[in-house]
Amino acid sequence: MKKIITCAALSVLGLTLPIAHADEAAIRQAFAKSMPEVKIDSLKPSEVSGLYEVNVGSTLLYASENGKYLLQGRLIDIQTRTDLTEQKLAATRLQALEKLGESKMIIFKPKIKKYTVSIFTDIDCGYCRKLHSEIDQYLAEGITIQYLFFPRAGKGSESYNKAVSVWCADDRNAALTAAKKDQKIAAKTCANPVDEHMQLGEEFGVKGTPMIVTEKGNIYPGYLPAKELVEALESEKKSH
């Protein structure tokens, strides 16, 4: 069994790693020992002394510098009343969406682009259908809609199979619109990103659909009419 490398152990070994690096080594070894299936994407000191930020995919955790304790929750700056965790998560979400890429999304584009949102959608969800039935209103406001699938019934469900069939259709946009109207579409299979969408949704903490992710990485759970979404996006711009 490997021992966790502490600062004291490094000193005995005659190594001169900075304390921060020693702490990182302790945390990485603790994860490797207790949660080998978890891949740490980044690790760095947080705003709180003795606490490290641990990025795992689009999830942000906090670990003690000795790697013994793990926290999952929100870090709040009391003085400014700022949710520091949400700020970091927003940036992480944007990186994840960029990594996925537009080629793995179904995109509805306006004539003049002013805003872009990514929406996790379930073909059979009532409010998802309501949102899509008003797609022309969103486009008229200059909102680009980037769809990702999140069939809430899970892999292999009817909603999941519909998502795959839509992706594999000759005209994905038309097929998605038809499916949202509960029209029958041809059942098809092909290489598709539906599982990737679902994994990303899990990492983003999707609890219901639709879930809207803005250009700043912020989340609006649920349906928002086009006018209200524009107001939210404009407010977001002014706050940055």
Selection from 31, 26, 21 nearest residue 59 by Cα: 31
Rounded to the nearest angstrom, the gap between the alpha carbon of residue 45 and the centroid of all alpha carbons in its chain is 22
- Condensed to tens digits (0 to 9), the pLDDT of residues 4-21 reads 333 333 333 333 334 456
**What are the b/e assignments for 91-126, b being 16+ CB within 10 Å?**
ebbbebbeebeeebbbebebeeeebbbbbbbbbbbe
More confident residue, 207 or 151: 151
Domains in the chain, start-ordered, CATH in brackets? Answer: 7-80 (3.10.450.70), 102-238 (3.40.30.10)
Q: Which residues does the annotation mark as catalytic?
A: 122, 125, 128, 152
Q: Are 46 and 52 a contacting pair, CB within 8 Å?
A: yes
Identify the residue with better confidence: 189 or 22: 189
The pLDDT tens digits of the residues spanning 215-239 come to 999 999 999 999 999 999 999 887 7
What pTM was estimated for this model as a whole?
Answer: 0.79
pLDDT band at 39 (very low <50, low <70, confident <90, very high): confident
